[in-house]
Structures are given as C-alpha cells and as structure tokens.
A and B are shown apart, each in its own frame.
Chain A
Amino acid sequence: MGIKASMRLREHVGVLNDLLSALETIESEICCRLSPIPVALKSAMQVAEDGGGKCGAFLKRCVDELNRRGPQDFRHIWRDSVEAELGFMPEAEKTVINELAATLGNYGADEQAASIGYIRRRLETFLRSAEQEKDRSCRIYTTLGVTMGIAVVIVLI
C-alpha cells in the first residue's frame, strides 16, 4: 500500500514537471515561430512522449481531437482531454490548466505568452507542494515499513 501511494505521488510530480516543459515548448512555438496551435501542441507532445507519461497522452488526445473535430471546438477538446488523461490530479490544478482553454489561440502571441507564463508560475507552486508531500510521505512510509519489519522480527523471535 505504501509503495502504491508512493508511486502515485511520484507520478503526480512527474506529470507536473512534464506539463511545465510542455508549456515552455508551446510558448516558444507561439511566440518565436507563430506556429498554429495544432503545430505547437504537436511539438510539445513529441517532447512529452519521450518521457512516456500522462502529459504526453493528454497532448496526444488534444492533437488527435483537433484533427478530427476542428479548431472551433478547441475549448471543449482541451477540457475533455484534461478530464480524460489528467483526471487524477487535484481539482485546483485542473482548474488552472483549464484556464488555457480560453486563452490559447484566441489572442495575440504576447498575450498568450503572458497567460502561459502565469499558468506556469501557478503550476510551479503546485509542483513544490507536491514534491514536499512526496518527500514527507516517503519518509513516513519508510519509517512505517522499518517499524513493521522490526515488529515482525520480534514476534517471530
């Protein structure tokens, strides 16, 4: 049980890290190359897929749905993809990520960069909290594990 909980916390930290990298890629694509949103998401997806996590799956779903449904449905596509692939994340974090649904592709490059920068700063705050919780929980589970082990040995003796 302790191992499973520890893995979930590690995955949460990993996804937040991957999302931050993805947003950096998307911001560069929009601001430096004026790439359309589907192209920016695809670039970020290719980077995230190397890590093989939920973030890559989320971006892939966005890209596939954009190809299928068209850019006019972007807001719904983004929010549906967050729920489908990042549903395990706390509501507060999903709400922040979903703010980009209204921003991406709807404003000039500078305005989008400002919005992405703001979202990244908030996600960095969540990441720090998640890392602290992961470290604290790991210490607790390690201590519990060792204590249980000693107790078993005493009983057997």
Chain B
Amino acid sequence: MRAASPDKERYESAVRLLPARLRSIAQSLDGGLKGRAEEFRLRAGRPFSIAFPQGEVAPMPSDEVTPEDISELLRIVSKGSIHTVAESLKWGFVTAEGGHRVGVCGSAIVKNGEIAGLRNMSSASLRIAKELKGIGNGIYKMLVSGKKIPNILIVSPPGGGKTTLLRDFIRLISDGGMRVAVADERNELAALNEGIPGFDIGMHTDVIEGCGKPDAVMMLLRAMNPQVIAMDEITTPEDMEAMERAANCGVSLLATAHAYGMEDLKRRVYYRAAEKLFDKAVLIEQSEGKRRYTVRDFAYESPRGDVNAC
C-alpha cells in the first residue's frame, strides 16, 4: 500500500479535529481532492463546506451544521480545555494540534470596553496547514549567499501562502547553518506539540510560541543569540518596533505582512518604517489557482533593483 502524500496526511490530521458527524463527510471526499482542500467551513444553519482554490463545495448540501457542531469543534481543538485557548479565542482564533488554524465567529462578550471572549458561536473555519518543502528554494538561492541574509518581508493578501513560504525559508536558512529564532505567536510556523515541532523548521531553529511578538523578540535576543529572527504577520506598531530592535542588534529579519502589494503596504501607517528596515520584498500573487513569487528591492517608489519572478 502506498504511503499517503504529505498533503493527504495533513488533510487527515485536520479531519480528526472535526466533530464525528462532519468527520465522516470530510473523509468521504475523493482522494485526489483531499490534497487540494484548503479549509473546512462550518456555518450554523448552512451546509458543511470544503474550500478549494477555485471555491467552496458542500459534499452533503442537505446536512446542515449546528451550533453544537461548532462547540464540539472547539472542545476537540482545545482538548476539552477552553481555558488553554481563552486568550487566543478573544481574538477569534485557535491554533490546533498540527498547526491548523481555527477561526471562529459568534457574539462578542465585552467587559469594560475589551473583548473578554466569544459565545453563541455562529461559524468556524478550519484552515488546513500546509507544508511545502522546497517552495522557497529558488528565492533562497537568489537572495542568500554565504552567511549574508538580507532583511526580507513576504507580502501577500490573506490566504496567499505567506506562512508556508516563511516556514520553508526558515528551514532553508537554518539547515544552511545559521541560528534562526522564531517568534511563533500563533503556533502556526512550528506547530509545537509538547515541545516538538510538527513541521520541519530546520536543525538550528529555536521557537517561542504563544507569546506576543515584542516580548518574544526580546527574550530570543537575550537568551538564544540568534543570527536571524523570524515572525509571521507584522500587524501592529509594536511588532515593527520589535523588528527594529532586533535589526539594531545586528540580526537579520524574516517577516510577513498582509497587503495586496507595495502600494497597499505603503498606505498603512505602521508599515512606513518598513522601507528603512527591509532590504527585499517577496510578493506573492495568485492567478487561476497558481502562485507567482516576485522578488524586488524593498522600496515604496519604483524598484531600484532587479525584479525577479518565479
């Protein structure tokens, strides 16, 4: 019997997180399609659906998701321990074993002007974590020579593949002999399970997970003597400050940002400092289900350096 492909294994590990009733629907999907599935979508009162690059499909249109299905999903994902995920649940997501991200929607509980949690869950999305070893090879060879790593920002819209590419970069740089430290706030890059990474992140990589990026960067700088610091999704001015602090310590930076391109990035106030911080931008664009990577010098005006696509 042939071993399952890594994509199918990831699909199966995500399926195990679903409530029993929906698990059987997801498992009935044709084998060839499993490797291409990107998300499971649970919306109360509507059919359970599976998202592919081309769109969503409902394998059993007559079978509706119930609020109890969504509650059970959270129980499984949190291993019956909501208190362990309460902090991230306030922000509407939980990272499950295997690095799969579960986003949830519902009624916000607001106390003293701050979100204290969610109740009456109305929908959830389970994004299937992907590991694509080798997708960063071309860009790595283009950008990295010897021990010199430029500061790189990977830019794409949501769902564009930034995390997957960043993870492969981390692995390549680490296996190339450099000490990489990862501030893995949402446990999506390494998917630590009792301390052991669920993804291949390289031989010389240290990870702090579950900690805000500014604090994680300080801890890593003080304790782990990194040569490269990596973090996913710079979203706040504090994240940018943390990157600046690391750069001032002579550490190379690897990071990602949500944006539809350099113009979109430039419009956001806290990304304006990025031009001084980063040397290279890797832009990910999707067209007809395929991804295209463009490498350029990091400049908000016309690029000064070569523009390479792969």
Contact = CB atoms under 8 A, between A and B. Distances in A.
A105 B79 CA distance: 8
B83 A105 contact: yes
A30 B78 CA distance: 13
Interface residues of B, number: 14
Contacts of A66: 80
A147 B140 CA distance: 93
B117 interface: yes
B157 interface: no
A72 B75 contact: yes
Contacts of A107: 82-83
Interface string B82-103: 1110100000000000000000
A72 B78 contact: no
Contacts of A30: 83
Nearest to A77: B80
Residue of B19, B20, B76, B79 with most chain A CB atoms under a 10 A cut-off = B79
Nearest to B79: A36
A35 to B, nearest CB: 7
A71 B86 CA distance: 17
Contacts of B80: 36-38, 66, 70-72, 74, 105
Contacts of B120: none
Interface string A34-73: 1111100000000000000000000000000010001110
B72 interface: yes
B86 A37 contact: no
Interface string A69-88: 01110100000000000000
A108 B81 CA distance: 9
A35 B81 CA distance: 8
A144 B134 CA distance: 84
A95 interface: no
